[in-house]
Amino acid sequence: GRAKKRKNTQQKQQQSKQISYDNNGGEGFGTSTKLEKPYLRLTSQPKPEDVRPLKILKLAFARLQEQYLADDVNSYPYVNEQLKSIRQDLTVQEVRRNSFGLKVYETHARIAL
């Protein structure tokens, strides 16, 4: 009865975590293709469909840099939010410790100053 149902639920949860949160060789587990995404403070494990993989993060960052340098975006709160969102996606996928992650963090620090 209940014990068997609980065991099945626990097994499904463990399988879900193992499959869903694989770093994919440094590319991340995210599947979102959105270039813009609001920063939201996480209160639980993020869903892969809400996280952008590394290749999408690179596109989003390049687009944000172009907009910022061309003065298309003169709102610091918007740029700050987008950079925080990119950093968060890097962090939850454990891919922030590479040259791209460093570039994002340095850029964010420079803009903040």
Cα–Cα distance for residue pair 35/74, rounded to 1 Å: 18
pTM: 0.76
Decide: 33 and 52 in contact? Cβ < 8 Å. yes
pLDDT band at 19 (very low <50, low <70, confident <90, very high): very low
Confidence label for 71 from pLDDT (cuts 50, 70 and 90):
confident
Band the pLDDT of 13: cuts 50, 70, 90. Answer: low
Contacts of 17 (CB under 8 A, 6+ apart): 45
- Residue-wise pLDDT for 74-113, tens only, equals 688 999 999 999 999 999 998 877 899 999 999 999 988 8
